[in-house]
Every structure is written in structure tokens, then in C-alpha cells.
Structure 1
Amino acid sequence: GYTLQDINNDKVPELIFAILDNEKQGKGYYGKDIYAVYTFVDGKIKFVDEGWARSNLQLLPNNMLLMRGNSSNTDYVLVLEDLLPNGNKRCVDMYFTRSKNGNAAVNGLDVYRNDVGRDDVAASQKTNMTADDFFDMGAEMAGDSVKLELLPLKECKQRGFKGLAMQYLECMGVHELQDAKFDLSKYEQVSVPNPFKGADVIFRSTRNLEEFRLLELASGKSVYSKDLLMADEKLVLHLESLETIPKNGISFKDDAGRERRFAILQSGKDGSIYLQEIE
């Protein structure tokens, strides 16, 4: 599948090809493992990076690219990079392994770190990490990677880029705001009836959303509706508690004319708020 997503904040989206998950979510298709990334610089398409069997490529929530790979059973690498507006990648952090005295066993690996983007021992610092620490860190980062909404390649001629929705939506808890004194008085306040142990959530979109609804998921009833929610409108949603099974969600029509429904959930790991497409 493929998607358009701006990961270097230059207001021009990158073209990303990735592997579709086996199962659909709602009316969308999703996937994490990236095949290739292309950007647009000075009027020309520019190749950025690729993922393959021994070089797994994923996108993190902060728009950094995470690459995990190996060239042998002793040489593993984990790289965090961001994409600059000029289309070049910049290494933010890199870890790699080397064998201890030719020992090919996993527990015989040293772990090195640098920010130059080369698995060069001379340009790196040896860490106190064990091989298990290294692999656990990579697995944890991969677990936090973004599930991209994708359009199947087979539907390219029929749909173009119509039907993508997830990357235009933003949902976050008030507690996630960097400035605790952030003024919410200009936001429209929307509340579900009698929220028990309520949770306050900010919702916004970078696209106009037709037939926007705030839903009570158990009954499917709409507790708030708007024929057109404009891209510059921001809502504070006063919802039921998010600590257990999600009770509230949103729906709207995407640019392909399909109703899309998303549950509003809270991560059990860090308390962050996120959306998950549902039927």
C-alpha cells in the first residue's frame, strides 16, 4: 500500500510505500513496515530510504525513521534518523554491535553508540549495554512505531489518494499539552451526558470533516453533530472515563464519501490518547 504523509514539516507530504496488515480496521488499511520513502525537493522526486528483509524500516510518532537491521549474526544496527527539508537524512542516534574477541554468540557482543550514522568503532563510544539490552530497546521502539493508514496499490487508478483520513486527525489528552496553563476558553466545549469519572480530550483535524459526530459507542447514538467541522476548529471533548473499554468515538465522511468511525482510547503504557478505526 501507499500513503502521503509530511514527516519533515516542509508542508509537502512524502510518498511512503509499506506492507499492508492482513486484516482491515474499519474501512481503512494499515501497516507499520515500510518498503520505501520518497520526498520532493526542488521540483524533483528524491529517494529517501528503503526497508527490506534484513533492514526493517518504521516511522516513530515524532516522525523519526527507525531502522533495525543486521549483516551477520554478530553485526546488528539500530538507527534513529530524521528527514531534513533538503531531502537528506540526519542521524540522531545509532547503536550497533560487534563480537567480543570473535565470539559469535549473542552474549558475546559489545554495543557501541554514535550520532555520525556509521557502524565504525573508531567513531563510536562503547556502552555498558548488554546484547539483550540492545535487542530489548529495539523491540520497544518498534512497538511504539506508527501504524500508517495505507491505500492498496491495486486501487491506485480508482482512488488516487482519496480515502486517507488518519494522518489528518489529532486526538490528545489535555494532560498531554506541554503548557499546563494552555488557554482552552476559545475551544468549543462538547460533553457527553453525565460523564462518570470523565476525561478531557482535545480533537482537531487538518482537513474539513463532513458529517462529524461524537458517538456513544455502545448504542451508536450521536451525542454531538456538525454538518461540517472546519480544519481550524478545535474541540474539547468531555468524555466518559478512558480507563477501561472505550465508550466514546467519532465518525465523519472521508473524501471518498465513506463513513469512518474511530474509537477514542488511552494507552496503558504512557496515558496518551489515540484513535483506532472500528467497524
Structure 2
Amino acid sequence: MKRNHLFAIIVSLILLMTAGAQATAAEQSPDGLAAYRDVLNRYHRLITADPQYAEAGEGDTGVLEAFSYIEPADAPARFGYAIMDISRDNVPELLIGIIEKTEDGVSWGSEILAAYTLVDGQPKLSFEGWARNRHHYIGKGSFYVSGSSGADQSVFGEYMISPDGTELICIDFCFTDQQGANLGQLSIDPAASKWVKVEPKERAVSEDEFEELEKQLAARVQLMQLTPFAAYTSSAFTVLARWAKDALVDYTNYDEFTADESDARVRVLLSSDSPLADFKVLSITALDADEGGTLRFDSQVLHAQDSLNPDRPLVLNMTFFGDLPSYAISYTDENGTAQTFALTLSGKDGSLQLTPIE
């Protein structure tokens, strides 16, 4: 079978932004978690609800397709998200991906099903992936994209997120039996810090070379840390529980409270995207269960503060003593309703979870 490798260098875009322009973009962009709250809430509903009743929206194709091999009960631990600035314009992107492994309670994945950026502070879909259009992260804002449009037609290439994060730009593209297709390669001129336009050039490669090119690109795939949707609470004012050793790099100031002195205690970072009133850390003890098997708990306040603020999270030193939770958090939501969540570990992968309790 003839393999074609088409080269082109297209488009002229200035990549080098001034420090002032970057600062302005950062000032105009809301906090990442808060800005993407509606998108995350939608994915949380999609992932935690019965998929047969779900309606596909923009960017949902890959998630819905993945339910063909992911059991609904496992979905909250198998899908995750990351908020990071892969376009390096000081505006964070939201990435929705599949969790491939979890070690020491930290989840990792490389396949991205959807990506969003912020335009005028509002989420905008940048790209989405599915089985025949897979996107794997290879670092520095670039992706290994592979797929097919039939048994004898396969494609792969390297794509880079555009400087504004709104789309993927082709860097290199290989395909089979698609003579005349308007596909190509973009290259960066580091000296000029811009995209340079030239005429496309096409060349044929052997099957061995075709496979070697794809092998080299696939070898660059790297894992990124993903927060499982099992750890996400889709309240308008949400607390996020993460391992402090991984998440503290995002903060310069924080409070700390030690709930017990056990040698097995761990450090959990509790953060929120909006101020939460009347925030408390509770010691809880299971009393009994109702007819439906729901546990009832007695609680004692261990730590209280007027609010938990986005720029000052709380590090909780605590121990997971057994299968039943020993600690919980509570706060007052925007409607004046007290919300209480137990701190638990996933029985599947040991990831942190916040479980609603009464």
C-alpha cells in the first residue's frame, strides 16, 4: 500500500507575546475552577447519571462513546479533568480525559476527550476526541493525534494548541491513500517567534517508515495528573479535596489544622473556588443506618473558621482509620443551607472523595 507523507508550513501568526499583553490576559481571566464551573458541572452530571438518558452536547462525544467500555458505576473514577495553561498565554485551559492509572491516590491520564479555553472569560471548546480521532498529550501544549476513516485509511500527526488556546494547529501529518488532501505540517521558526508560510510539499514514504514515524510520535506521549470526577462536587460553592503534597504548589498561603496525632496521618488540601461561610472540620462517628442503608453520624466540631477562601486553602492533617469515615467538613452554601461531606477514600483506587452525609 502506498503511504503518503505531506509536508507544508502554513499560516503566519506571531507567537511571542509581550509581558504586558500576558498580564492583561491574566487579569481579565477569572480563576480557572470558577470560570469552568458550568462546564465541569455539566460533565459531572453526564458522568454520574445513567448515560442512556444523557443528551450529547458540545464536546461530549468522546465521553459518551467511552461508556461502551466503562461501566457507569466506575465512570466517576475513570474520567477526570485538569485545569492548566497549556497554551502558555496565562489563560488556563480545561482538559477532560480518561484516567489510565492511579498510584498513591493520584490519578494520571494522557488521552484527552475535550479541551476548553476562555474567550472574554467564557469557556469555548477548543477540540474534542473520540475513538477514531484520539488525542494524547505529548507535552508543551502538543498532542499526538491518530485515527482512521476506514480499514485501509489511517492517519496520525502532531498538533499544537494555538497561542490563544482556541484550536489545534497541525505541525506534522501522515496519512494513507489520500492523494490531494489539503493536509500538512506547521513548523515554528524559533528565531522569528512566528509561523512562516511556504508552499506545501508532498512525499511518499515506505510502510516501514510510516510505522516508524508513528512509533516515534507515540513514544512521546506523557501522563498528566487528572482530578477524578469522583472527587468533584457540583455545588455552586465547591470544596475540592486533594493530596497536599501535589496541590500545595498552586498556593503561597494556607492555614493548617491537625485532627489527630496518628503516625499514619496524611495531609489533605481543602480548597474552594468561592468563599464558603462557617467552615468547619468535624469528627464523626457512625450511629446506625436507615432502612435504605444510609448511615447516620454523630459529629463534634474540631476546627472552625469564619470562611474558606479561594486564595487561602486549609491543610488538614488527618488519618483514615478504617472503612468508615472519621472526619467530615461542613459549610453554609449560598442558600443558607448547611452542607456536610465526609472525607473518604475510593475503594477502587484510593483517591480522595467527598461524600455527602446528613
Q: TM-score, normalised by structure 1?
A: 0.49
Higher relative contact order (CA closer than 8 Å, sequence separation 6+):
2
Q: TM-score, normalised by structure 2?
A: 0.39
Higher radius of gyration, 1 or 2: 2
